[in-house]
Amino acid sequence: MTDIHELLSRLESLETQLAFQEDTIESLNQLVTKQNNELKTMSERMRWLGRKLNQLQNNESGPDADPSQEPPPPHY
């Protein structure tokens, strides 16, 4: 009879551990999904910033542009 009680106790302990592990796995899965979405958003923003940076670098009227290359003001 003691063996049955021991086995039932061990089974209950294992079921409890399994329940906690399943909860932990679900929480981690939600976290990974959230981080994946954030990573996608950040990647899109980085690509957008890269395009903007290229546009600014290719723009002749930027802050580092040669003033002699700028067109004259409209009153000339």
The rounded distance, in Å, linking the Cα atoms of 15 and 22 is: 10
Going by pLDDT thresholds of 50, 70 and 90, the confidence category of residue 62 is low
pLDDT of residue 51: 96
Residue with the larger pLDDT of the pair 71 and 20: 20
Given a cut of 70, whether residue 67 has pLDDT beyond it is: no
Residue 4 has pLDDT above 90, yes or no: yes
Rounded CA separation 9/16 (Å): 11
Q: pTM of the prediction?
A: 0.60
Specify the pLDDT at position 31.
Answer: 99
CB 70, CB 61: distance < 8 Å: yes
